Chains A and B, each alone.
Chain A
C-alpha cells in the first residue's frame, strides 16, 4: 500500500488518482469520499469552516453510514 521503495511523497496533483485507488472497492460511496477529502483540506486551509463542512455533508453521511459522528459538529447542530 505505502511502498517502502517509493522514493518520495506523491505530488499533490497526482494524489487524487492514488486516493481513488485506495477507495476502489470500498463498500461505501467512493465519490463522496473523494469530495470530502478535497474539502477536508479546504477546512485545514481555512477556506471552509468546520461548521460549513459539517453541514455540507451531513445528509449524505447519514444516508451512507446511518450516523454522523464527525468531530466537526457545530454547537447546537441538529443531528436528525
Chain B
C-alpha cells in the first residue's frame, strides 16, 4: 500500500528474526516469540518449517454480491498472498467468511485474470464487424489511452447520430464497492440508458404491495436477533449453503435453544436435513400452501387480534358494491380520501383507522354503513381462503395436511418467529404473489416489529448512504431499461434502440442471463461492446474493448453490507494492481475527461470515497479507514417497529388498488402459475422442471476458477431422482443431454434422492468452458410477468436423455488437477 498519511498505520514492528508485523493478534504474537527466544518457533518439530507470525497482515473485505461482505485478514509473505482469514468486525459476533472468500489466495493469481486492455482485432469505431464476435474472436493489446480514446470516440459519434440513450451503461453486482456510483454518475451526465434490476425482485415486489417495503427480499431483523425466534420457517431456501452460511451459527443457536426449524422445499437440502419438519412442496405450489396455512390460522382462531386491529387493515371495511375499501370521505363530511374505516364491535358506527392505533374494532362481519353494504377485509380474506383447507391442497402441493397445520401452528402459537423465503420463489414467473401471501400470513400471526421476527433468508445489513452522488443535479439522465428488456431493445429498438453497451462488474450478458443464445444474438448486433472485468469470462470473450479490472485486493474501496451485517467496511489495498489492471473508477474518470465531464470526478478514488462517505451521517471516513469496519448505529436490529409506509400506515390485508395479470387480480392472493401449472401445454414434451440451485461453491458465476473448490466440486451435474433417470435409461454418473425448445447442455447425471421426482437441477454459475456442450442458461427463458418484471430462471421445463455416444468427455475423464478448464482461457489474449 502506498499511502503514507499515517492515519492508521502502526510503525512496523520488528522483533527477533521475524518479519514485519501486524495485526493486534500478530503484534502480540511477536511479543511472545521475542520472549520465548528464537528456537520457539518450531521447538518441537524440527522438520516443520513454521511461518506463524511472519506475515504482513492487511485487513480488507471480500466483496461479491453474496450475503457475506466478510471483513478478512490477508496474510502476505515474500510479496505474495499466502492465506485469508476472517477478521471480526467492530461488532465481533459478525465474524464471518465462507469457503470461497477464504480461497482468494488462488483467485488472485488465477490465469483467467485479465492483464492488459485489449481490442478485438477486427473492430474499429467505424467498422465494428459485429460478426467477428464470439468464441473465436481474437484480441490485440492496446494501451489504456488508446482503449479509452476509442470508447469515447464511439460514444460521441453514437450520441450525435442517435442520441445518448443509444448507449447502455450496464452495471452488474460483481463488486460491492462504490465504483458503480461513479459509473451511474457518468451515465447520468452523458444521458445514456441505465440498467434497471430485473433479477430477484419478484418476492419483494409482492411483499411491498402489502407492507410498503421491500424490493429484493424485504428487510428483516439483523442476524444477531435470529436467536430470539421460536419458529423459523425457511421457505425455498438452502440458507446453510447459500446466503446465510456465514451466519449459520445464529440459526443453529436458535435451534439449539429450542426454536422449531421448518423447511419448505421440493429438495431435501442441507438446511432441510437440520429441520424439525420438512414440507416437500411441489414446485410452483407455494401460494397454495401459504393459503392453506392461513386457512388453519383462521380455523384455529390463532390470529393475533391485537396486532390485526392495531397494525393492519384487517378490520377495514370493503364496499360490496365497488370492491373498494370504504373511505372516510364516503361516510364523513371532512373524511380523508385515503383514510380507511372500521366499525367498533357491537355497533355499526364507522370509525377512522389511524396507523399504529388499536381499538375495539370488529375484525369480522358484514355491516351496512350509511346505506353502503360492507364487510371487513378479514372476512373477505377468510372467505377467500375457505377453499384452501390443508386437506384440500395436500394433493396439489404434495404436502401432508397435518404437517401443513403443524408448521403454521408453531408459527402462530410459539411466540415470535417468522418466514425466511428465498429468491428462488421469485424465480418462478409469478413469484410476486408469494411475496404478497406470506406478508399477509405474517400479518395474521402478528410477526412484525418484535425480537425474533424473520422476513427474509438474509439479514438487513448496512448500506452506505451516498445521497444522489450518482445523479448530479445538473445532469439530465437518460431512460432506464430492465434487464429482460435488453434483447428487444438491442435487436428491435423496443422501447428504443441500443447500439452500444459499456458493462462493468457483470458476467450477465454472456453467461448469467437466461436465454443466453438470444442475449448473444443481441450482443452480436451491437456497434460497440465494452466490458470491464477481473477475469476472462464468457461475456468478456464477446467484447470489442476489454478493460482489465484489478482483483479486490488491488482496489481501495468502501464496501456496503446490504443484506449481510450492520457494518460498512473499508477495502484496503493489499497490493498494487497486477499487470496493467486498473480500477474501474480510473477508467470511468478517464472516459469522463474525454467526454468533457472530468470536473465531476475527484482525481483519486480515495477522494471520491471520502466525498461519498461524507454524505452518510453515521460514517466517519477516518474512523472507517482506520478501523476497517464501522458499525452503522442507525441500522435497527428489529425492523417494522413504526407505521408501515402504506397509504394507511398499516399492513394491507386487502388491496383495492391491486395490479392484475393474465386476467387475475391480486386484491387477495390468488395462485397463478406458468410452466408448473398442471395443464401447461408443453408439459408432455418437456416433462421435467429444471432449477439451477445456488450452491456453496459459487457467488453467481464468481469463483468458478478456484482449484481447491474444483477438487470437491469439479463439474456441472444434473441432480435427478433415480426413478426419473431409470425411466429414461440413464445410469448414475452417465452424461446426459438436457434440452428444450431453446437449447441444450450436456452434463453428468447424479442420482440424488434429495430431488423430487419430476424436478432436476444443475447448480448455477458454471462458465461455458465447464460444459461438455451448451450451458444451463441456454435452457432458461427470458419471459417475465408483467407485475413481477423478474427473470424466471426456475420456471423452466426440459427433457433429459442419455448423451449421444460420440460426445467428447475427456476434460473430465482425464486426470487433471483442475477438472475442467483444461483450456484455461488466458487472461490477456
State yes or no: do A and B come from one complex. yes
Residues of A whose CB lies within 8 Å of any CB of B are 4-5
Q: How far is the CA of A5 from the CA of B709 in the complex (A)?
A: 11
Q: How many pairs of residues, A versus B, come closer than 8 Å at their CB atoms?
A: 4
Residues 119-151 of chain B: 1 if any A CB is under 8 Å from the residue's CB, otherwise 0? Answer: 000000000000000000000000000000000
Contact residues in B for A4 (Cβ distance below 8 Å):
711-712
Minimal beta-carbon separation of A16 from chain B (angstroms): 25
Minimal beta-carbon separation of A7 from chain B (angstroms): 12
Q: How far is the CA of A4 from the CA of B697 in the complex (A)?
A: 14
Residues 694-735 of chain B: 1 if any A CB is under 8 Å from the residue's CB, otherwise 0? Answer: 000000000000000001101000000000000000000000
Q: Is the interface of A mostly helix, strand, loop or mixed?
A: loop
Contact residues in A for B712 (Cβ distance below 8 Å):
4-5
Q: Is the interface of B mostly helix, strand, loop or mixed?
A: helix
Contact residues in B for A5 (Cβ distance below 8 Å):
712, 714
4 sampled A-B residue pairs with Cβ under 8 A: A4-B711, A4-B712, A5-B712, A5-B714
Q: How far is the CA of A11 from the CA of B777 in the complex (A)?
A: 40
Query: B712's closest neighbor in chain A, by CB?
Result: A4
Q: How far is the CA of A4 from the CA of B712 in the complex (A)?
A: 5
Contact residues in A for B711 (Cβ distance below 8 Å):
4
Q: How far is the CA of A5 from the CA of B712 in the complex (A)?
A: 6
Q: How far is the CA of A16 from the CA of B714 in the complex (A)?
A: 28
Segment 714-762 of B: residues with Cβ below 8 Å from A: 714
Query: B713's closest neighbor in chain A, by CB?
Result: A5
Minimal beta-carbon separation of A8 from chain B (angstroms): 15
Query: A5's closest neighbor in chain B, by CB?
Result: B712
Instruction: Please list the 4 inter-chain residue pairs (A to B) with the smallest Cβ-Cβ separation, ordered nearest first.
Output: A4-B712, A4-B711, A5-B712, A5-B714
Query: B708's closest neighbor in chain A, by CB?
Result: A4
Q: How far is the CA of A4 from the CA of B714 in the complex (A)?
A: 11
Minimal beta-carbon separation of A4 from chain B (angstroms): 5
Segment 200-231 of B: residues with Cβ below 8 Å from A: none
Q: How far is the CA of A4 from the CA of B819 in the complex (A)?
A: 13
Minimal beta-carbon separation of B656 from chain A (angstroms): 55
Q: How far is the CA of A5 from the CA of B714 in the complex (A)?
A: 9
Contact residues in A for B714 (Cβ distance below 8 Å):
5
Query: B709's closest neighbor in chain A, by CB?
Result: A4
Q: How far is the CA of A5 from the CA of B748 in the complex (A)?
A: 15
Q: How far is the CA of A14 from the CA of B311 in the complex (A)?
A: 64
Q: How far is the CA of A72 from the CA of B711 in the complex (A)?
A: 38
Minimal beta-carbon separation of B714 from chain A (angstroms): 8
Q: How far is the CA of A4 from the CA of B711 in the complex (A)?
A: 7
Minimal beta-carbon separation of B712 from chain A (angstroms): 5
Q: How far is the CA of A8 from the CA of B307 in the complex (A)?
A: 50
Minimal beta-carbon separation of A6 from chain B (angstroms): 11
Query: B711's closest neighbor in chain A, by CB?
Result: A4
Minimal beta-carbon separation of A2 from chain B (angstroms): 11
Residues 344-375 of chain B: 1 if any A CB is under 8 Å from the residue's CB, otherwise 0? Answer: 00000000000000000000000000000000
Minimal beta-carbon separation of A1 from chain B (angstroms): 12
